[in-house]
Amino acid sequence: MTAPACSRLMALRHLAPPAPALGWAVAVLFWLYYLAAFLAPAHRPWHMPLTVAAAGLAGIGALALRHRFVHPCVVLVGCCLFLGPASIGAAFVAQATSARRHGTSPIVLLSGGWLILAKIMQLLAGPYRTEWDGAATVESTIGIGGLVVATLIGWLSRSIAGEQAWRDDARAARRDADHARIERTRLRERERIAREMHDVLAHRLSLVAMHAGALAYVDDLDTPTARETARVIQRNARQALDELRVVLTRLRDGRAAPEPPQPTLRELPVLVAEVRESGTRVRLDLNATGLADLPSQVSRSAYRIVQECLTNARKHAPDAPVEVSIADGANEDLVLTVSNPVGGPAIPDPSGAGLGLIGITERAEMLGGTITSTMEHNQFALTVRIPRRAR
């Protein structure tokens, strides 16, 4: 059984009546009615009103058990009804409780049959039985009809309670679905931020590692070159820390900071200049038309793809020249090609998580593009085709 079904079942089993005071009022009113009838001037034994009053009070007292022990309550009320008619109101309330609790179960029919039998036996064989006459017929009809009405009221109450439970479950399900959707969105956003962190920091830190390696292993650097290299390391390290601080601030719940403008293809010459400044030879061919009119998402993703390709080339093929080409393709596609020779004398950088190509692929596929790589004559080429309008 599912959790919502269990919650509905428990709600129906332990549901309090819609108006708890109403049941007590019905039981007390019928008790007072019959007590007044037996107290009316008539030739009756003195103990008859006392017995009727005591049996009625016992039936009313038994109603205190109806929420937790409905079956013993019905049995006790039936016994009190056999002793005197003043318990008929309590019988109505007990039967309504049984119907509300068990619905259309045979137990409801058994409890109703038991109370009807107790009423008829009270008229035929009770302590104060009389000859069956018109009054007995009317009283038995009222008792049986009242029990039928009480059963219908119990079923109606159960139906209303069940509908309310379904509504509560539907609201809870909607809340859970909204919460899950929000959590999925947050996870996707955090994954995007993580990829952004990888793209940005990997570029900066690879520059720091390259220049730090030059300072560590090159012995013939003159003082101006060493100072310039140290300034490059310092500048890139500071920029990496600033970008890391921004990304980590965005990751904090409820404390998102305004994002700085993300670089696009317009800043690509600046990126190439930084890479050239680090010592990597890069040739840039911007043959595509309408780059200034590209959607910001396409232009930003293309910039990040080129940045990641340059970082990968610097890691895996140090000191190798890199060619970057951006041209027009078929179907108004933008074609990005980055190629470099492999297998040179320099030692590749083994650091990194190997997520570069995965990140490039995800960015390209997110825009509806494709990625292909080729290796010919020790020349590695990566080609990314991106629609000018993100799909």
pLDDT winner (highest mean) among 35-44, 191-200, 335-344: 335-344
**pLDDT tens for each residue of 260-302:** 567 888 889 999 998 888 888 899 998 888 888 888 778 888 8
| Residues ≥6 apart with Cβ < 8 Å to 309 | 322, 324, 336, 338, 360, 382
Residue 132 to residue 51: CA distance in whole angstroms: 21
Q: Hey, what domains does the chain have and what are their CATH numbers?
A: 3-176 (no CATH), 263-391 (3.30.565.10)
Q: Which residue do the tokens 């119907």 mark? A: 99
Task: Give me the amino acid identity at 12.
Answer: L
Alpha carbon 142 to chain centroid, angstroms: 53
Residue 95 to residue 153: CA distance in whole angstroms: 9
Q: Please provide residue 221's backbone torsions phi and psi, each rounded to the nearest 5 degrees.
A: -75, 130
Beta carbons of 244 and 193 less than 8 angstroms apart? no
Give the model's pLDDT for residue 20: 66
311 pLDDT above the threshold of 80: yes
**pLDDT tens for each residue of 197-209:** 666 677 677 777 7
Task: Please give the order of strands across the beta sheet that includes 282-286.
Answer: 282-286, 322-328, 333-341, 379-387, 370-376
1 pLDDT above the threshold of 60: no
Q: Which residue do the tokens 């079923």 mark? A: 155
Give mean pLDDT, residues 335-359. Answer: 66
Q: Encoding tokens for residue 207?
A: 């520059």
Higher confidence at residue 337 or residue 1? 337
88 pLDDT above the threshold of 80: yes
Give Cα separations from 307 to 9, 269, 379 (angstroms): 59, 11, 19
38 pLDDT above the threshold of 80: no
Q: How many residues does the chain have?
A: 391
pLDDT band at 84; cut points 50, 70, 90: confident
Give the model's pLDDT for residue 326: 92
Residue 380 to residue 364: CA distance in whole angstroms: 19
Give the model's pLDDT for residue 384: 93
**4 burial via Cβ count (<10 Å: 0-12, 13-18, 19+):** middle
- DSSP-derived letter for residue 130 is -
353 pLDDT above the threshold of 80: no
109 pLDDT above the threshold of 90: no
Give the model's pLDDT for residue 132: 74
Q: What is the pTM of this model?
A: 0.41
Task: Give me the amino acid identity at 222.
Answer: D
Nearest to 280 by CA among 242, 326, 251, 311: 311
331 pLDDT above the threshold of 70: yes
Residue 124 to residue 130: CA distance in whole angstroms: 7
Higher confidence at residue 188 or residue 282? 282
DSSP 238-297: HHHHHHHHHHHHHHSTT-PPPPPPPP-GGGHHHHHHHHHHTT--EEEEE--S-GGGS-HH
Give mean pLDDT, residues 26-54. Answer: 73
Higher confidence at residue 227 or residue 163? 163
Give the model's pLDDT for residue 324: 93
